Amino acid sequence: MHIDMSSLSPVEAYALMTQTVIPRPVAWILTENTNNSYNLAPFSYFNGLSSDPPMIMVSFGLAPDGALKDTRSNIEARKEFIVHIAHREMAEAMTQSSATLPPNQSEVEMLELELAEMPGSSLPRLADCRIAYACEYDSIHKIKDQAILFATLKHFYAAESVIGKDAKGRMCVNAVDVDPLGRLGGGEYFGAGELISVERPA
């Protein structure tokens, strides 16, 4: 099958891309609402952008009513947020946090998720997530209705259970122990599964 991408509507292109650009990492983003409660939502148009400086990108569409999504508004207003990498056992809660709620209603409270201190940030992290980054807003670049947000990674948290050392004695994060969720199409996710290790060329 061959498809001319220019023949697809935005909805059709989205459906095709989310089913084939796989698996995608998911940024489970915590921000602060205007009433000091915490917003929480997953975004799978997300990835690392650079390591010097350490930066990420997250792509935001518009809410169903055409307004800016709460996460984007909160980040632009307050400049900091926490990105979590969720694991298999958190798939249900992460999916539920994507529901559209009234402004200033907290997904963290709705889902009864425990919070913990995130050193280097005024915001907390989700206590049960094994990986978290404290992020600082850098800039936004717009492409039609999409907004690509760039942010600098300021602080990193990892649960002790996922930290080890490689053959050279350097700290490493064990992906199998993290068991991160990767986004597929529709309501499907991809777990860590079997680890495939291939020797890199010198």
157 in a structural domain: yes
The CATH number of the domain holding residue 56 is 2.30.110.10
133 in a structural domain: yes
63 in a structural domain: yes
Total domains in the chain come to 1
The pLDDT of 45-66, averaged and rounded, is: 94
The pLDDT of 72-93, averaged and rounded, is: 96
pLDDT digits (tens, 9 = 90+) for 97-110: 999 899 899 999 99
6 in a structural domain: no
pTM more than 0.75: yes
Mean pLDDT of the chain: 93
pLDDT of residue 194: 66
Whether 151 shows a pLDDT value over 90: the answer reads yes
Whether 196 shows a pLDDT value over 80: the answer reads no
Please name which of 1, 29, 2, 24 lies closest in space to residue 14, comparing C-alpha atoms: 24
pLDDT band at 79 (very low <50, low <70, confident <90, very high): very high
pLDDT of residue 83: 98
What are the backbone dihedrals phi and psi of residue 104, each rounded to the nearest 5 degrees, phi first?
70, 5
Asked if 161 contacts 130 with a C-beta cutoff of 8 angstroms, the reply is yes
198 in a structural domain: no
10 in a structural domain: no
4 in a structural domain: no
Type and span of the H or E element at 158 = strand 146-158
pLDDT of residue 74: 97
Please name which of 106, 133, 108 lies closest in space to residue 119, comparing C-alpha atoms: 133
Domain that holds residue 145: 24-190
pLDDT digits (tens, 9 = 90+) for 120-138: 999 999 999 999 999 999 9
pLDDT of residue 8: 92
37 in a structural domain: yes
